[in-house]
Chain A
Amino acid sequence: MTALALQLVQMLVVLAFAPALIGLVRKVKARLLRRQGPSVVQPYRDLARLLRKDVVLAENASWLFRVAPYMIFAATWVAAALIPTFAIGLLFSWSGDMIAIIALLGSARFFLALAGMDVGTSFGGIGSSREMMIASLAEPAMLMIVFSLALIAGSTSLSTMTAYMASPEVGLRVSLGLALIALVIVALAENARIPVDNPATQLELTMVHEAMVLEYSGRHLALIELAAALKLLLYISLIGCLFLPIGLAGAEAGAAALGLGLAAYVVKLAIGGALLGLFEVSIAKMRVFRVPQFLGAALMLGLLATLLRFVSASF
């Protein structure tokens, strides 16, 4: 029973923290640019406002356009709930391994790209087309990272992997360093962050993610924004639990350990968000056709990390 309760807590925690993380990144960016910036809780207010508004649907939008936000949100939420945030070995953590989590995000993206093409404007098309181009390079890079980590930990199940990374036997490995760099690159690309995409852009030609969701409004837009926030949280949690597995509670931990795990998780999220903000203000957005090189680097790093593991496993 407590196991089920913990799993539910996990699902609510990711949902509750996701908008705050976006707010934090925005605040950090604004402060670094010497602006006041909106409050950290502004994304919650935005969501509440969007929920109160009418939906304005384009004239030829089909049923897919109205169903897609729910699918995108559900797939992203399930994926985020499978990541160890404050505790490992949760009740349903075995139901999907890391490959399944990536593929769930792939499902969400599939529907988002289709929704972008539904209305039949050139914006939606340009967004979908570029998003799929970026994804077609980011996804293999991500799988290569999973391979290298899975070979080190001997498992693709995220709980086992995290437990292994937290144990002292993991040591310092070249593969891990390469995988971390590649994972950061993929996380930036997948979350439509600078230098790949700009979440705050108003200029149509540079939009990728924002171009796909241009036709959405009201409650549909709220769901999509929440899903995007969840995805950012997912990647920061993933980096946190794999490369900074401090304070994670075990499978049968007591209340104190769980509280500690939650506190450590909040700190990790804050550090991740602040670093992201710092990175974003210190770099310029790149041209769309430079992105393949950027992501190709991630793919090659991941492949290199995997190859190193393949080769060194025999010694």
Chain B
Amino acid sequence: MPLHVWLPLAHPAAPSHVSGLMSGVMTKVAVYAFIRIVFDLLNAPSWWASMTVLALAAATALLGVLYALMQHDLKRLLAYHTVENIGIIFIGLGLALGFRAAGMNAAAALALTAALFHVFNHSLFKSLLFFGSGAVLTATGERDMEKLGGLIHKMPLASFAFLVGCVAISALPPLNGFVSEWLTFQAILLSPALPQWGLKILIPGVGAVLALSAALAAACFVKAFGVTFLGRARSDAVAKAGEADRYSLVAMLALAALCLLAGILPGFVVDALTPVSQALVDGRMPAQAHIGWLAIVPISESRSSYDGLLIFLFIAAAALLAASAIHRLASRRLRRGPAWDCGFPVPSPVTQYSATSFAQPIRRVFGTVFFAARERVLMPPPGDPRAATLTVTLRDPIWDAIYSPIARFALAAADRLNVLQFLTIRRYLSVVFVLLILLLLVLALWL
């Protein structure tokens, strides 16, 4: 977590397809390196390492999603979500470490598979969402959600693909994000068998944090989709927008289809990950391919099972049944009328809920603790023609506590050393000479 600060700054600066690549692949390099070092090279992890990883990962997940909720720049929001998802992945890895240290190889395999499944899922839906934000950026030239809105009318296909990505990342069935979080929860439920008290007390808390960040992610993506694509246009940039070009659409719809496929056929993904868990933690989940109806079973059938395919078919069947019944029995007529305005028609689109106002309740619940959020309302007295303003200030506690002191120190040091830049050539040479002597002395004393 404390190393997250570069990501939200880098993502908006990069072109959108590169952001997708960065989020989908680059951040996973860290996961790969972690797995190679901890599981391969160090081989015998200890349980306190697992505790450290779990605590950091839980903090990362929760803070990542809370930061994301506070953003109104679409790409910054997505970047903070990458932070959250890395947290979720590391929760799985931390659990795998703990189980491995206790010699529970089957449970470790479950946790590791959950983490790797989430890596796979995240690379699918996050690329999809970044492509979507790229399409929005190309169509309107805006990343700021407060200036967007109503794009679903202008770009129906792109908004559909973006919606699929939103549902997937919010861990909602029947799409893929839910499956990997479900597997992580199943791994958490195995943890009372661990021998260490520290882990026993920490892991339920981690489970609660994971549940909280999943729920907050749903809130965040209702905000992201609702403010960007739904409602009425908030600026002229939207009026000129059109559908994304054919190639971007194909890419996004293909990723959306993959999200659905991985969600309804998770057994194949789990089986594909088996060699990895076999190699790394010397354990495996039960083979999934032969289970009836393509369900997945983490440990045993009596304990828990989930069938994405059936759930998807049930939902589809129920929706179609309802639709056909209603179209046969009910009135099919439809009229268009103005929306309900309480008798005070104000045509301005600023009367809509904006990204900042959508997040206000959550900012009020969590923000004061985590970001020292302050809201200042400037209300001019009656008769004063100035507009009322609302300023919201947020601070990143980690930036304040770690990075700004370092930055301040570096700047101050640079200021002091600035004099060195204006020496004569004679003094430069003497500085070089003194340094050389010093380095030789260090070398001589060292050896």
Q: Which residues of A contact B (CB under 8 A)?
A: 51-60, 62-64, 70-71, 73-75, 77-78, 81, 92, 94-97, 99-100, 103-104, 106-107, 109-110, 113-114, 116-126, 128-130, 132-133, 135-140, 143-144, 147, 150-151, 154-157, 160, 204, 214-215, 218-219, 222-223, 288-289, 292, 299, 302-303, 306-307, 309-311, 313-314
Contacts and interface: CB of A to CB of B under 8 A. Distances in A.
Contact of B222 (A51, A117, A147, A289): A117
A136 B307 CA distance: 25
Contacts of A100: 173, 178, 182, 306, 311
Interface stretch (B27-35, B330-338, B428-436): B330-338
Interface string B312-351: 0011101100110010011101111111111000000101
Contacts of B200: 310-311, 314
Interface stretch (B209-217, B244-252, B278-286, B375-383): B209-217
A193 B314 CA distance: 28
Contact of B230 (A64, A75, A107, A139): A64
A139 B211 contact: yes
B310 interface: yes
Contact of A110 (B167, B231, B314): B167
Contacts, number: 279
A99 B222 contact: no
Given A51-B329, A106-B172, A130-B361, A117 B192 contact: no
A136 B215 contact: yes
Interface string B286-315: 000000010100000111111100110011
User: Is chain B's binding surface mostly helix, strand, loop or mixed?
Assistant: helix
B211 A113 contact: no
B172 A126 contact: no
Contact of B337 (A57, A77, A130, A292): A57
User: Is chain A's binding surface mostly helix, strand, loop or mixed?
Assistant: helix
B362 interface: yes
A117 B166 CA distance: 15
Nearest to B310: A95
Given A73-B322, A97-B304, A143-B207, A56 B353 contact: no
A125 B315 contact: no
Contacts of A64: 152, 163, 230
Interface in B246-276: none
A81 B214 CA distance: 24
B51 to A, nearest CB: 15
Contacts of A215: 339-340
B94 to A, nearest CB: 16
Given A51-B329, A58-B338, A74 B319 contact: yes
B303 A157 contact: yes
